[in-house]
Amino acid sequence: MMFNKRSTRTQVSAEAAVATMGGHSMFLGKDDIQLGVNEALYDTSLVISSMTSCMVARVGPHSDVADLAKHSSVPVINALSNDYHLSKSSLISLLYTSLGLEGMKIAWIGDSNNVLFDPAMGCLKLGVDISVASPEGYKIPLRMREIILSSTEGVSQPGKLIETNVHEEAIKDADILVTDTFGSMGQEEETAKRHPEEVADEVFYSPRSLVFTEAENRLWAAISALDAFVVNKGKII
């Protein structure tokens, strides 16, 4: 596990998943490994993949995790990059445990960022509509929007991606509301200029909140990823 950025849920869920499946994890933080510093990613990928069964990488630029995967002889799981946060796909598991998929609509309120992109692709593939309300200047980048929409290729009845900058429009008839921090790691100055909290405590801790259920599902998402890519070598069974 190579993490260039701090983490709580992603690190704990990944380590717990490895232990649950009978494996052993090694955690390497930014001060423990020369990930792209004094050593090329090519070299790092060759060396670490020769000694392990899988790499879990939490990086900055998505090109870093892509380069690791390109040269690795073992699976590389993206634990976060500037473009994607695959372990956040645990959000999708909530659709099965709460209200079911048929006629489902999810509303995303806040910046369009890497935490949104993977659930958006998952929703569309499962036939779930997702309505995104982001402020001007923080909408889904055109390149990423094209990637999200193209992910439905071959899906007979994909969900719809709806974009607006009016949150009332996004949440109308929605079954689940989702948000994320209004400033990511490295954006502390920008965060200070905006509202410091995204969700009031009376909502966050209410009986209708799925915050902690979603957090726990990170473990099952991590187990699923390891089972799919390490145990079954990427084969769909």
CA distances from 163 to 123, 131, 155 (A): 14, 6, 21
Q: Would you say residue 236 lies in a domain?
A: no
Q: How many residues does the chain have?
A: 237
Mean pLDDT of the chain: 87
Q: Which CATH number goes with the domain that contains 136?
A: 3.40.50.1370
pLDDT band at 91, cuts 50/70/90?
low
Give the structural domain span for 37: 2-85+218-231
**Torsion sign, CA atoms 28, 32, 35, 39:** negative
- Is the Cβ–Cβ distance between 115 and 85 less than 8 Å? yes
Quick one: 112 and 72 in the same domain? no
Query: Does residue 35 belong to any structural domain of this protein?
Result: yes
Query: In the predicted model, is pLDDT for residue 199 greater than 90?
Result: no
pLDDT tier at 110 (50, 70, 90 boundaries)? confident
| Residue 93 within a domain | no
Looking at the fold, whether 196 and 112 belong to one and the same domain comes out as: yes
Would you state the pLDDT for residue 13?
93
- Cα–Cα dist 204/190, whole Å: 23
Which of 1-10, 17-26, 60-69, 163-172 comes out lowest in average pLDDT?
1-10
User: Does residue 168 share a domain with residue 74?
Assistant: no
Q: What is the mean pLDDT of residues 86-103?
A: 65
Specify whether 23 is located in the same domain as 109: no
Question: Same domain, yes or no, for 115 and 73?
Answer: no
Number of domains in the chain: 2
E strands, the chain, are: 2-3, 55-58, 76-80, 105-109, 129-133, 161-164, 176-179
- 146 by DSSP, 3-state: which? helix
Highest mean pLDDT among 16-30, 189-203, 220-234: 16-30
Comparing 31-40, 144-153, 167-176, 181-190, the range with the smallest average pLDDT is: 181-190
Written as six digits, the tokens of 63 are: 């090109």
pLDDT of residue 95: 61
Asked if residue 203 and residue 103 are part of one domain, the reply reads yes
Dihedrals φ, ψ of 161, to 5°?
-100, 120
pLDDT above 60: residue 194:
no
Provide the pLDDT confidence category of residue 63 given band limits of 50, 70 and 90: very high
Say whether 18 sits in a helix, a strand or coil: helix
7-14: average pLDDT: 92
- Rounded CA-CA distance 215/223 in Å is 14
Between residues 178 and 91, the one the model is more confident about: 178
186 in a structural domain? yes
Average pLDDT value for residue range 193-213: 80
| CA–CA distance, 196 with 31 (Å, rounded to integer) | 29
At residue 229 the predicted structure's pLDDT band, cuts being 50, 70 and 90, is very high
**pLDDT surpassing 70 at residue 143:** yes
Q: Write down the pLDDT at residue 212.
A: 87
Residues 117 and 74 in one domain: no
Are 197 and 133 part of one and the same domain? yes
Say yes or no: 61 and 119 in one domain: no
CB–CB of 8/213 below 8 Å? no
Strands 2-3 and 76-80: unpaired
What does residue 26 show for φ and ψ, rounded to 5 degrees? Answer: -120, 125
Q: Sorting pLDDT into bands at 50, 70 and 90, what band is 215?
A: confident
